[in-house]
């Protein structure tokens, strides 16, 4: 799994690619969010378009990231969710916790 960082306006966008699962996936996401926070980011958007698989550890890391960002007076939102990610968020009822957007443009404008 990989996470690439880019900035649009004042929003830090993390492009998550691959398997968001126990091991490399959760660690890569944790490190990317932590680095963004250390760099002073307050608006973080996770672009999940290329996430192929997500497991309970990946979901746990999404929740943990959301909590860390919120505790630092920031906002974390999700965009471009795949069908698999939507299914897992619906089953766990976390879809009500995260602000989700179908397009990156819409998400960036929502901050």
Examine residue 83 and state whether it is found in any structural domain, yes or no.
Answer: yes
In this prediction, residue 25 carries a pLDDT of 81
Report whether 15 contacts 47 (CB < 8 A): yes
Instruction: Find the CATH number of the domain harbouring 44.
Output: 3.30.750.24
In a domain, residue 111? The reply is no
Residue 109 lies in a domain: no
Q: Give the separation between CA 40 and CA 92, rounded to whole angstroms.
A: 31
**14-49 burial, b if ≥16 CB within 10 A, otherwise e?**
bbbbebbbeeebbebbeebbeebbeeebbbbbbbbe
Q: Is residue 34 part of a domain?
A: yes
Q: What is the pLDDT of residue 17?
A: 96
Overall domain count for the chain: 1
Task: Decide if 36 is inside a domain.
Answer: yes
Is the overall model pTM greater than 0.85, yes or no? Answer: yes
Read off the DSSP letter of residue 9: T
pLDDT tens-place values along the chain, 111 residues long:
999 999 999 999 999 999 999 988 889 999 999 999 999 999 999 999 999 999 999 999 999 999 999 999 999 999 999 999 999 999 999 999 999 999 999 999 999
Pairing of strands 11-20, 2-8: antiparallel
Euclidean distance between CA atoms 71 and 61, whole angstroms: 15
Task: Take residue 80 and report the two structure tokens written for it.
Answer: 């471009």
Where in the sequence is the domain holding 27, given as residue range(s)? 2-104
């Amino acid at each position: 799994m990989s996470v690439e960082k880019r900035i649009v306006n004042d929003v830090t966008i993390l492009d998550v690619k691959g398997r968001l699962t126990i091991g490399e996936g959760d660690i890569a996401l944790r490190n990317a969010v932590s680095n963004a926070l250390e760099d002073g980011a307050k608006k973080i958007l996770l672009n999940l378009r290329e996430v192929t698989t997500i497991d309970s550890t990946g979901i746990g890391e999404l929740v943990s990231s959301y909590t860390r960002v919120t505790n630092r007076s920031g906002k974390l939102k999700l965009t471009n969710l795949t069908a698999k990610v939507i299914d897992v968020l619906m089953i766990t009822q976390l879809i009500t916790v995260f602000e989700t957007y179908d397009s990156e443009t819409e998400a960036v404008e929502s901050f």
